[in-house]
Amino acid sequence: MTGAASRGVAEPETIERRGERARLASWRADGEVAHLSPAAMRPLSADFVGSCLDTLRARGFSFVVTSALSEAESAGFLRAGFDVREELELLAHDLKAIPDVAVRLRRPGRRDRPRVLAVDGTAFEPFWRLHHGGLEDALGATPSVRFRVHGRGQRIDGYAISGRGAGTGYVQRLAVHPDARGRGLGRSLLGDGLRWMRRHGAARALVNTQRTNKAALALYRACGFRVLPEGLQVLARAL
């Protein structure tokens, strides 16, 4: 391993023990913060989470955050010493009334990815910004994925990653540069992903966002999403 990878997981890694599975990855490019998430349909036990923490310590991480977890999924992590870092709203769309796509979008190439990450950096607070590994994780999180951007040449104004699996669509990531907001670009990016989900047989779409992210919540509600009673949590702890 070299560079940041010498202090953390170079590539996403799956740990499995007696039917329990977890996915480990770097949360930030510096390799100090790890990302830990369940990799199977069953919640993880506190004992298994503890063994994952031992693995992360051995790899040089000093802090760990989870993926967005339901109440049932959170239980084992909380017993293993995690605290709630962020509370999220979970929203659903029935894929019936979908916003129009009013701008031209395109599939990005590899050379666009630094500019995609630059847009992401303007759209999110530092803790939630993606680095290269996080972008790859978002693109590989579901069996099928749609990745679209708006902009040409050296300028990308916004992007969206949409996923699909087991009859459900997922808004994995959506970001618009502050200079391009207020022109309907977010609605178009969202509408493009939702139409793709419906065209390929999804029955509904899900998205989560921080409860404090009022702008994102307003966009999703305006585009036909409804807030579900059950929320999600991102947990964290020092190692």
pLDDT category of residue 135 using cuts at 50, 70 and 90: confident
Q: Mean pLDDT across the chain, nearest whole number?
A: 90
pLDDT in tens, 90-128: 999 999 999 999 999 999 999 999 999 999 999 998 888
Helix (H, G, I), strand (E, B) or coil at 3: helix
pLDDT in tens, 141-193: 889 999 999 998 788 999 999 999 989 999 999 999 999 999 999 999 999 99
Do both 108 and 24 map to the same domain? no
CA distance 204 to 65: 28
What is the DSSP secondary structure assignment for residue 179, as one 8-state letter?
G
Contacts of 214 by beta carbon, 8 Å cutoff, 6+ apart: none
Do both 53 and 139 map to the same domain? no
Concatenating the DSSP letter of every residue in 203-234 gives SEEEEEEETT-HHHHHHHHHTT-EE-SS-EEE
Residue the block writes with tokens 């040449």: 153
Q: Is the pLDDT of residue 29 over 70?
A: no
Q: In this predicted structure, what is the pLDDT of residue 6?
A: 46
In a domain, 62, yes or no: yes
Q: Is the pLDDT of residue 42 over 70?
A: yes
Contacts of 121 by beta carbon, 8 Å cutoff, 6+ apart: 129
Do both 69 and 7 map to the same domain? yes
Do both 77 and 119 map to the same domain? no
- Structural domain that includes position 149: 98-223
The number of distinct structural domains making up the chain is 2
Do both 123 and 205 map to the same domain? yes
Q: Is the pLDDT of residue 13 over 80?
A: yes
Q: What is the CATH number of the domain that holds 182?
A: 3.40.630.30
Phi first, then psi, for residue 24 (nearest 5°) are: -115, 140
Q: Is the pLDDT of residue 1 over 60?
A: no
Do both 135 and 213 map to the same domain? yes
In a domain, 129, yes or no: yes
pLDDT category of residue 25 using cuts at 50, 70 and 90: confident
In a domain, 229, yes or no: no
Do both 145 and 197 map to the same domain? yes
Do both 173 and 103 map to the same domain? yes
pTM of the predicted structure, to 2 decimals: 0.86
Among the listed residues 79, 183, 85, the one whose alpha carbon sits nearest the alpha carbon of residue 127? 85
Do both 115 and 153 map to the same domain? yes
Q: Is the pLDDT of residue 236 over 60?
A: yes
51-55, 138-142, 205-209: segment of lowest average pLDDT: 138-142
